[in-house]
């Protein structure tokens, strides 16, 4: 039972990363109809940025936690203005290919400067111990990651449901043409929302730096799983992507804990779930069926 609780808790931590990344993707897709393939590369930049800030500027993890998401959000906004916006009116495939290309450029740029070898990065001193959670103890840093992720998700929910900005974003997400027709200046919010989604990926990257291998390819594999998570939750559904993120994290942890012969299943699990969900509810668990074109 204790083991089960441990693995459950651990699954939630794993899910926290998926949820943060999926949330950013969902926000961007909802507002811009852009499938941002570069999300994994941004996650990598967040982790790498933390490393560079520490080694070359001397800023600690706590600074990185604030500075990197902001810097990347600005980078994202510039990106949206300079390139993404130019392709917005075309088939979504164009922006998909654009962001795929960006991923390769960003990865190779980091590779050419820092190599592919993983760079060392440690958790801050305060969080390097373990916390006694009653039934078991757990690395303090992981507890912190979970708390952060939940706080960010709740914060985003509050922003979307309780503020005027959120109302505009939700309206624009669900019925962009109608919102514009009603006199809402949707365009004004496109760039900040894109930057915000990118910032979230950067935050996930910084959070990952102390516990995962920091290298140029760290986002490349992860992004495929995050896409699957977003599809399971329902493309563009903000609640769906967060819920699916945590759920997939949980299920993966449970299956991995089953033992040696379940390794293959845990690897393909997320895609099996995705296939199942698509058959059962083509719009995803929390997505809304679009009216037939």
Partner 1 sequence: MRTKALLVMLCSTALLASACGGGGPQSAAAGGGLSDGKVVFGVLNDQSGAYSQLSGKNSIKAVELAIADYQEKYGDKAVVKEFGVETADHQNKPDVANAKAAELYDRKAVDVILDVPTSSAALKVADVAKEKKKLYFNISAATTDLTGKSCNKYTFHYAYDTYMLANGTGRNTTEEGKKNWYIVYPDYAFGQDMEKSFSAAVEAAGGKIVGRDAAPFPNTSGDFSTYLLKAPTLTPKPDVLGTMQAGAELVALVKQYNEFKLRDKGVGLAVGLMFLTDIHSLTPAALAGTTYTDAWYWNYDLTNRTFADRFKTAAGVRPTFAHAANYSAALQYLEAVQAAGTDGSDAVVKQLEGKTVSDLFLRNGKIRAEDHRVVHDAYLAQVKAPAEVTEEWDYVKILRTIPAAEAFRTPSPDCKL
Residue 130 binds to partner 1 (criterion: CB under 8 A)? yes
Residue 33 binds to partner 1 (criterion: CB under 8 A)? yes
Determine contact, residues 16/203, Cβ cutoff 8 Å.
no
For residue 144, give both structure tokens: 């912190």
Binding residues among 66-95 for partner 1 as defined by CB under 8 A: 91-93
Out of 210, 233, 240, 245, which residue is the one contacting partner 1 (CB under 8 A)? 210
Residue 239 binds to partner 1 (criterion: CB under 8 A)? no
Residue 231 binds to partner 1 (criterion: CB under 8 A)? yes
CB atoms within 10 A of CB 185: 11
Query: How many Å apart are CA 61 and CA 127, to the nearest integer?
Result: 11
Side-chain-side CA neighbours of residue 14 (13 Å): 18
Out of 51, 227, 239, 286, which residue is the one contacting partner 1 (CB under 8 A)? 227
Q: Which residues of 268-287 are buried (b: 16+ CB within 10 A; e: fewer)?
A: ebbeebbeebeeeeebbbbb
Applying CB under 8 A, the span of 50-58, 78-86, 160-168, 249-257 interacting with partner 1 comes to 249-257
Residue 69 vs 219, nearer CB to partner 1? 219
Residue 196 vs 227, nearer CB to partner 1? 227
Residues near 266 by beta carbon (within 8 Å), at least 6 away in sequence: 252, 255, 256
Binding residues among 148-207 for partner 1 as defined by CB under 8 A: none
Q: Which residues of 158-169 are buried (b: 16+ CB within 10 A; e: fewer)?
A: eebeeeeeeebb
Minimum separation from the CB atom of position 215 to partner 1 (A)? 5
Minimum separation from the CB atom of position 22 to partner 1 (A)? 13
Class of residue 124 by CB neighbours under 10 A (exposed 0-12, middle 13-18, buried 19+): middle
Which residues here bind partner 1, judged by CB under 8 A? 2-3, 6-7, 10, 13-14, 17-18, 33, 35, 37, 91-93, 96, 100, 108, 111, 115-120, 123, 128-130, 139, 141-142, 208, 210-213, 215, 217-218, 221-222, 224-225, 227, 231, 235, 252-253, 256-257, 259-261, 263-264, 266-267, 278, 282-284, 287, 290, 292-293
């Amino acid at each position: 039972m204790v083991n089960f609780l441990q693995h459950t808790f651990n699954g939630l931590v794993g899910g926290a990363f998926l949820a943060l990344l999926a949330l950013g993707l969902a926000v961007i897709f909802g507002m811009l109809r852009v499938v941002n393939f570069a999300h994994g590369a941004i996650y990598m930049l967040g982790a790498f940025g933390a490393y560079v800030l520490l080694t070359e500027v001397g800023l600690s993890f706590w600074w990185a936690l604030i500075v990197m998401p902001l810097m990347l959000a600005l980078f994202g906004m510039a990106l949206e203005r300079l390139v993404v916006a130019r392709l917005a009116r075309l088939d979504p495939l164009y922006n998909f290919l654009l962001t795929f290309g960006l991923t390769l450029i960003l990865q190779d740029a980091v590779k050419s400067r820092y190599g592919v070898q993983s760079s060392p990065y440690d958790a801050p001193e305060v969080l390097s111990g373990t916390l006694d959670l009653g039934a078991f103890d757990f690395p303090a840093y992981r507890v912190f990651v979970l708390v952060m992720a939940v706080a960010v998700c709740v914060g985003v929910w509050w922003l979307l449901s309780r503020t005027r900005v959120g109302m505009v974003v939700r309206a624009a997400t669900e019925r962009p043409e109608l919102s514009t027709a009603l006199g809402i200046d949707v365009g004004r919010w496109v760039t900040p929302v894109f930057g915000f989604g990118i910032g979230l990926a950067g935050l996930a990257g910084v959070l990952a730096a102390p516990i995962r291998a920091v290298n140029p390819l760290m986002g490349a594999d992860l992004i495929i799983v995050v896409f699957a998570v977003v599809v399971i939750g329902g493309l563009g559904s903000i609640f769906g992507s967060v819920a699916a993120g945590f759920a997939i994290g949980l299920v993966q942890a449970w299956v991995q804990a089953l033992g040696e012969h379940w390794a293959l299943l845990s690897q393909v699990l997320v895609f099996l779930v995705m296939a199942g969900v698509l058959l059962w509810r083509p719009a995803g668990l929390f997505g809304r069926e679009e009216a037939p074109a």
